[in-house]
Amino acid sequence: MASRLALSKSTPLAHLRPRQRRTYASEIESTYTNPHADQQFIAGALDGSKSHAVQSATTSPAPTTPDPDQVLRDYEFSQHQKAVTSKIGSTLAPHYRPHELLSNPPSPKDITLELLLASQAHIGHSTSLWHPANAKYIFGVLAQTPSDPIHIISLDATAAYLRRAAKIVSGVTERGGLVLFVGSRGGQASTVVRAAGLAGGCHLFTKWIPGTITNGQQILGKCGKKVVDHRDEAVPGFEEQLIKSAAVKPDLVVCLNMLENYVLLHECALNNIPTIGILDTDCNPTWITYPIPANDDSLRSVQVIAGVLGRAGEEGQKKRKVNAARGRLPMRQDHGLEAPGEEGEGVGGLGKEMSALMAAERFGEDEVELEGRDVGGEVEEVDASLLEDGMEAEGVEVPYERDEGVDIRNWDTETGERMGRRSEQVGSAQRSARTGGSLGGGERSHVDPTWDGETGERYDEGGVKRR
Amino acid sequence: MGRYNLAPQRVQSHATALLSAGRLATPPPWYPILSQIPPSAILSRPALQRSQRPGSKPSKKSRLFKPLRLNYEEDRLRWEYFNDHPWELAKPRVVLEDEGRDGEKYDWSVPLDHSLRRPKMGSLSEEGIELDQDWDRTAESQAGRPINGEAVVQRTNYLLKHSSGHTHATASAHALSEFARLRHYQETTLRVAREEAQSTGAFFGAGPNEVGMKLEDVQYENWRKWAGEQVEALRQLQGSAYTGNEAETLESTGEARAALQEVGGSVPGSKRGQEARGGAAIHA
């Protein structure tokens, strides 16, 4: 007889189990009062509506505002009724429910060939429409009707490439990157919104406006931007810099229908942005960095793939937040913002409007209206924790939390870990990181990490300048 | 290459070059992960595609590196079955899969008319197994099988593979006989149920034949209206070519027509000859 391991309440993870409030029938039925108990009959009006219902011989005064306790009791009673009566009758075996792909999408560890097969991810297009460069992802030709044979995509290739893409998405979000999910076909809107929400990124389900990246200032100029710190809290003091700053570009783009979004993928290539795309048998594999050979015409397969990538982004976000709480911050961003300094520091070069604004702020007026600036639609975030602290004067009161920052030379690009807090001289080290082209200990860098490319000075390992 | 823009594959090396040149101060957030997991090779051809049937050479040399055609034995069986029973294609079939392992829950060793073969209560086999209980246990899992053309194909396949002694013809005949027996039973029960319901006052809506006839009637009426319009238009066209007054001719009036009928039979050169009615020949 095999012994069963019984989980008792004293197991280490018992506190993490979701608590369910048990609702007993007796306590509900004793407290429930039927609001229609005094009604003898409900008569309909002549036109068939029930608006002239007769309640009883003695008309009870209609309650103007519903009692909140009664509302809560009614709700609990209805939930109790559903829980008790919904399972009466035949038991349903676990089966496919379309809404679960959005409400509870699969994660990268749930990728199986059976799941992809059931989601019709293996069905390719007619053989006459294929792109020959996709030959290695194709399992074979299926000719159920001799006149119209189709290609069948190899599902082990799909699974392998999907896992790889999931690692990319989680790796990018772990380091504070912005992922853009794009799906412009019919029915993909909810998919794309859900995936972007999980990954903490942006979504697009309408046509990509050509030039959104290459001509970002024009097209996204009216969109609001904000600066956030490592805890994702907004940091004030950058408003005038943000007006002039460039439109934020995504760090990774996931495209669910490649054929229709050629312009988007081309702009990403021009701006050196890596892309992930669902590669059907008729798509061009050179348009994207990481293909996922799968069927892009079936909504179910698109939802599975986007769900998996969204979950991967969610895992990366979780890791980033844990690291941020521990003070382990990702690499700095090349955002070009300066720390908001004292009065007059930034006045040089600003127009009349900006100086008037700053004057107003100095007087402590609230809610100064900025003309011609709409804060709507996209909100772009920049990490304030990665600002250059070396620029500002000592002892200045700043509205954000200061952190010691990260010296790029000590950041190991291979493992993403800091190799040790060797640089004690924070200011000089950061200056070198800003101006030099130095990298971490990555094998693929062709640059001598001790050489400051711009100023031509040599730096010691400890960050001390030497000639 | 000429036509290909391989910039998406060179994102990492491009960023490295920018960093080394000092154009970029800091690596972008995707830099570390892309260096760990570089993009895979593209535009590479798969290996030589060999046919599934050993010994057969490819029909054309141009197909040497193309994906192979997938041949399944069930496809042949399906082709034969649906050629012999084309109206089975009209029966609706659910192709939605739950988790991809739907085929594993069907046991094709169980005959298709299993539901008609329940043993008598209390009967025992030679070993002492209660046959009706055994039947119940099988029916619990296998009664939900859809019995259609696909079931016939799968049953035939099972018989060919697992029971020695069956040829292709005998296996398909065996599976078809089971299927026909069950289908006959189902159709009879449906018919009897319909008759019973009608005898107690139920009525049904229009069946597919009646619906089809109604649709055809609607189309026929449309055609008739259209045809009438066409005839009218043609008449007007022909009439407009006639330049004379559209006065009533003698022929069109009733009395002239009656007069013509009287003399219609008398032809001067015929055997009977012209009737002697007196007077000159009548002109129109």
Could you report the per-residue pLDDT of A15-55, keeping only the tens digit for each?
655 555 556 667 767 776 776 677 666 666 666 565 444 55
Minimal CA separation from A145 to chain B, in Å: 10
Would you call B32 an interface residue with chain A, using a CB distance cutoff of 8 Å? yes
> Which residue in the set B19, B39, B68 is minimally distant from A290, CB to CB?
B39
Evaluate whether residue B227 is within a structural domain. Answer: yes
Share of chain A above pLDDT 90, in %: 47
* B95 shares a domain with B31: no
* B13 shares a domain with B96: no
**What's residue B65's pLDDT?**
86
Would you call B50 an interface residue with chain A, using a CB distance cutoff of 8 Å? no
Q: Is the dihedral of CA A243, A245, A249, A251 positive or negative?
A: negative
pLDDT at A352 > cutoff 70: no
**What's residue A291's pLDDT?**
98
**Interface with B, mutate which of A116, A170, A255, A286 (most B CBs under 10 A):** A286
**What's residue A442's pLDDT?**
37
**Interface with B, mutate which of A130, A272, A315 (most B CBs under 10 A):** A272
**What's residue A334's pLDDT?**
76
**What's residue A350's pLDDT?**
59
**What's residue A340's pLDDT?**
79
Region A386-405: what's the mean pLDDT?
46
Evaluate whether residue B207 is within a structural domain. Answer: no
More confident residue, B110 or A11: B110
User: CB within 8 A of A337, min separation 6: which ones?
Assistant: A227, A238, A241, A242, A245, A382, A384, A387
Would you call B79 an interface residue with chain A, using a CB distance cutoff of 8 Å? no
Region A300-307: what's the mean pLDDT?
98
* B119 shares a domain with B31: no
Evaluate whether residue B175 is within a structural domain. Answer: yes
Q: Under a CB-based contact definition with an 8 Å cutoff, are residues A308 and A161 in contact?
A: no
Q: Is the dihedral of CA A180, A185, A189, A191 positive or negative?
A: negative
Evaluate whether residue B276 is within a structural domain. Answer: no
**Among the ranges A49-63, A399-413, B220-234, which has the highest mean pLDDT value?**
B220-234
DSSP assignment letter at B69 = B
* B135 shares a domain with B192: yes
Whole-number Å distance between alpha carbons of B99 and A106: 12
Residue with structure tokens 């676990």? A94
Q: Which domain holds residue B34?
A: 1-39
* B184 shares a domain with B94: yes
**What's residue B247's pLDDT?**
62
B33 chain-A contacts, CB cut-off 8 A:
167-168, 171-172, 174-175
- The region of weakest confidence among A225-239, A371-385, B267-281 is A371-385
pLDDT at A59 > cutoff 60: no
**What's residue A146's pLDDT?**
86
- The region of weakest confidence among A163-167, A186-190, A192-196, A371-375 is A371-375
pLDDT at A380 > cutoff 80: no
Banded model confidence at residue A12, pLDDT cuts 50, 70, 90: low
Tens place of pLDDT per residue across chain B (284 aa): 678 999 999 999 999 999 999 999 899 999 999 999 999 999 998 888 787 778 887 778 888 889 999 999 999 999 999 999 999 999 999 999 999 998 899 999 999 999 999 999 989 999 999 999 999 999 999 999 999 999 999 999 999 999 989 999 999 999 999 999 999 999 999 999 999 999 999 999 999 999 999 999 999 999 999 999 999 999 999 998 877 665 666 566 677 778 777 767 777 877 877 777 776 665 65
Q: How many interchain CB pairs under 8 A, A with B?
A: 174
Banded model confidence at residue A73, pLDDT cuts 50, 70, 90: confident
Q: Under a CB-based contact definition with an 8 Å cutoff, are residues B124 and B134 in contact?
A: no
**What's residue A426's pLDDT?**
40
Burial group, residue A213, by CB count within 10 angstroms (0-12, 13-18, 19+): buried
Q: Under a CB-based contact definition with an 8 Å cutoff, are residues A135 and B46 in contact?
A: yes
Q: Under a CB-based contact definition with an 8 Å cutoff, are residues A141 and A149 in contact?
A: yes
Q: Which of B170, B199, B228 is the last residue of a domain?
A: B199
Would you call B41 an interface residue with chain A, using a CB distance cutoff of 8 Å? no
B65 chain-A contacts, CB cut-off 8 A:
135
pLDDT at A348 > cutoff 60: no
A305-332 pLDDT, tens digit each: 999 999 999 999 999 999 999 998 887 7
**What's residue A86's pLDDT?**
86
pLDDT at A457 > cutoff 50: no
A268 chain-B contacts, CB cut-off 8 A:
8
**What's residue A1's pLDDT?**
43
**What's residue A199's pLDDT?**
98
* B169 shares a domain with B231: no
Q: Note the pTM of the prediction, 2 decimals.
A: 0.68
Nearest CA in chain A to B102: A118
**What's residue A428's pLDDT?**
41
- The region of weakest confidence among A84-93, A155-164, A218-227, A332-341 is A332-341
Amino acid at A392: E
Evaluate whether residue B66 is within a structural domain. Answer: no
Whole-number Å distance between alpha carbons of A340 and A327: 23
- The region of weakest confidence among A93-102, A372-381, B221-230 is A372-381
Evaluate whether residue B72 is within a structural domain. Answer: no
**What's residue A446's pLDDT?**
43
DSSP conformation letters of A310-378: HHHHHHHHHHHHHHHHTT---PPP--------STTTTTTT--HHHHHHHHHHHTT---PPPTT----S-
Region A399-418: what's the mean pLDDT?
50
Nearest CA in chain A to B28: A333
**What's residue A356's pLDDT?**
73
Q: Do A115 and B100 touch (CB under 8 A)?
A: yes
**What's residue B47's pLDDT?**
83
A437 chain-B contacts, CB cut-off 8 A:
19-22, 24-25
Evaluate whether residue B55 is within a structural domain. Answer: no
- Give the phi and the psi of residue B115 in degrees, each rounded to 5: -70, -15
Whole-number Å distance between alpha carbons of A333 and A409: 14
**What's residue A376's pLDDT?**
40
ipTM of the complex: 0.76
Q: Do B8 and A168 touch (CB under 8 A)?
A: no
**What's residue B56's pLDDT?**
80
* B188 shares a domain with B110: yes
Minimal CA separation from B3 to chain A, in Å: 10
Whole-number Å distance between alpha carbons of A268 and A464: 39
Q: Do A436 and B22 touch (CB under 8 A)?
A: yes
* B195 shares a domain with B91: yes
Q: Is the dihedral of CA B228, B229, B232, B234 positive or negative?
A: negative
What stretches of A134-246 adopt beta strand conformation (E)? 138-142, 150-153, 179-182, 202-204, 224-228
**What's residue A6's pLDDT?**
45
Nearest CA in chain A to B78: A144
B82 chain-A contacts, CB cut-off 8 A:
none
Q: How many structural domains is chain B composed of?
A: 3
Minimal CA separation from A56 to chain B, in Å: 40
Minimal CA separation from A266 to chain B, in Å: 9
Q: Under a CB-based contact definition with an 8 Å cutoff, are residues B51 and A140 in contact?
A: no
More confident residue, A300 or A8: A300
* B230 shares a domain with B181: no
**What's residue A330's pLDDT?**
82
Structure-token pair, residue B242: 């006639």
Any idea how long chain A is?
A: 467
DSSP3 helix / strand / coil % (chain B, rounded to 5): 55, 0, 45
* B230 shares a domain with B189: no
Question: What is the pLDDT of chain A when averaged over all its residues?
Answer: 77
Residue with structure tokens 């971490």? A440
Evaluate whether residue B262 is within a structural domain. Answer: no
Helices (H), B200-265: 208-241, 254-263
Would you call B236 an interface residue with chain A, using a CB distance cutoff of 8 Å? no
**What's residue A366's pLDDT?**
46
User: CB within 8 A of A233, min separation 6: which ones?
Assistant: none
More confident residue, A363 or B24: B24
Whole-number Å distance between alpha carbons of B47 and A133: 13
A108-133 pLDDT, tens digit each: 999 999 999 999 999 999 999 999 99
* B232 shares a domain with B182: no
DSSP assignment letter at A109 = G
Minimal CA separation from A177 to chain B, in Å: 5
Q: Do A413 and B35 touch (CB under 8 A)?
A: yes
Cα-Cα end-to-end distance for chain B: 91
